Amino acid sequence: MESYFLDWANLLLRWVHVITAIAWIGSSFYFVFLDSSLTPPEDEDLKKQGVSGELWAVHGGGFYHPVKFAVSPPQLPKHLHWFFWESYSTWISGFALFTVSYLYSASTYLIDKSRMDWAPATAIVVALGFFVVFWLLYDAICRIFGQRKNGDAIVGALVLVLVCVASWLACHWFAGRAAFLLVGAMIATSMSANVFFWIIPGQRTVISQIKAGQPVDPIHGKRGKQRSVHNTYFTLPVLFAMLSNHYSFTWSHPQNWLVLILMMFAGAAIRQFFVMRHGYKLGRNGNPLPYALVGVAVIVCAIVWMRPAPMATPVVNAPVSGAASADKTGASGQNDFKAVQAVLEQRCYMCHGEQVQMKNLRLDSPDSVKQHAQAIYQQAVVQKLMPMNNATGITDAERALIGKWFEAGAATGP
């Protein structure tokens, strides 16, 4: 019953997390596009008001005319919309999901004893430490180098090194799927921390200065813009890390840390293409196409590098006609199932047997195995997700045995 309620919690939290993430990423992408697409105002009245840029757009049957005041408007409007709950709710729901999916069952989902055989409490503390340490180091890099000449390039290079080190450590300390998700959550935490510690406080300070009739310090806008730009480059790497848990060939690769780094780098390069593309149309930036080509090239290289070795063609026995064929098929199916049953007993019963039924699934009866043959094949052979983190040490030969049994019809008896 506990597993049933955990599944519901996982589903609902994931649903909320996706909804709020769409809202946050959507608004972030829109404002990056808007900032890059603004043109100097043509209307003299707008110029007198201090408008630094405007955009005309058509959408949904209507025309829109957003304008930007670079430092502050002549007066504050009565209703001012803030963009921060999208970020906070995304992080809160994501952390809750990470807790339910990984921290709550750390010994099963977070720990891979072949990498680090530590206690669940230790693994949880170290995992949470990734969030804190990465943010502190990233924030220090921005503080120290962000305002220097060529500061953006220096910050970008140092943050790349920091992400690479964190990816290497996570993939050597934690189970592969958990490591990928942990790195994504680590970066996403810094994204939300940028909003909480820099962007929103800076905007509140500006508003306080306007209300007090004080000169507005433009440094707050510059810092907020810098962190907002960082967030947009983080987005695609984070999304890859979050989606990768559905594709075991990425995080189960022997050099999974390098897979993670390459794909996140490709995502950041492709995002750079889209950021520059908005300004390129207005003649502000150079041609952004090389960034997209670099990102695509990295992905193609990863695909070629990670391709599996060709498998030997299985030998197919000559068909046997008549009753002899039926007898042979029945006996073969029974013998194959007995071998599969032995594998299930050794590798799967402890989680899906009489005593424990994780995911409400039992594999200790032929009828149940027959009913869930498709899922067994997908999880154990195709995706290699089960046993979780290969805690029971299933071999490639045993996975191949299950695959041969399924492809032959998944017979459980004569």
User: Domain locations in the chain?
Assistant: 117-306, 325-407
pLDDT confidence of residue 312: 52
Buried b (16+ CB within 10 A) or exposed e, 228-247: bbbbbbbbbbbbbbbebbee
CB atoms within 10 A of CB 259: 23
Q: If pLDDT is split at 50, 70 and 90, which confidence band does 135 have?
A: very high
pLDDT confidence of residue 317: 43
Digit-coded pLDDT (tens) for 269-286: 999 999 998 888 777 778
pLDDT confidence of residue 334: 56
CA distance 185 to 191: 10
Residue 287's contacts (CB-CB under 8 Å, 6 or more residues apart) are: 280
Residue 267 structure tokens: 């995502």
Over residues 180-199, the mean pLDDT reads 96
Q: Does the pLDDT at position 2 exceed 80?
A: no
Strand partners, 67: 54
Residue 132's contacts (CB-CB under 8 Å, 6 or more residues apart) are: none
Q: Which of 180-184, 234-238, 278-282 has the weakest average pLDDT? A: 278-282
CA distance 339 to 398: 9
Nearest to 146 by CA among 69, 225, 71: 225
Whether residue 115 contacts residue 172, with contact meaning beta carbons closer than 8 Å, is answered with yes
Q: Is 0.85 surpassed by the pTM of this model?
A: no
Q: Which of 76-85, 155-164, 182-191, 327-336 has the weakest average pLDDT? A: 327-336
Handedness of CA 228, 234, 240, 244 (dihedral sign): negative
Digit-coded pLDDT (tens) for 352-373: 887 777 766 788 888 888 888 8
Q: If pLDDT is split at 50, 70 and 90, which confidence band does 320 have?
A: very low
CA distance 28 to 34: 10
Q: If pLDDT is split at 50, 70 and 90, which confidence band does 333 have?
A: low
3-state helix, strand, coil in the chain (%, to 5): 70, 5, 25
Question: Measured over all CA atoms, what is the biggest interatomic distance in the chain, rounded to whole angstroms?
Answer: 98
Q: In a 3-state reduction of DSSP, which class is residue 31?
A: helix
Over residues 322-347, the mean pLDDT reads 65
Q: Helices 256-280 and 176-194: crossing angle, nearest 10°?
A: 40
77 preceded by a cis bond (ω within 30 of 0): no
Digit-coded pLDDT (tens) for 23-81: 999 999 999 999 989 999 999 999 999 999 999 999 998 999 999 998 888 888 889 99
Instruction: Give the CA-trace dihedral at 378, 381, 382, 384, to 10 degrees.
Output: 100
Ordered DSSP codes for 318-367: PP--HHHHHHHHHHHHHHHHHHHHHHHHHHTHHHHSSS-BGGG---SSHH
DSSP 39: B
Q: Does the pLDDT at position 318 exceed 50?
A: no
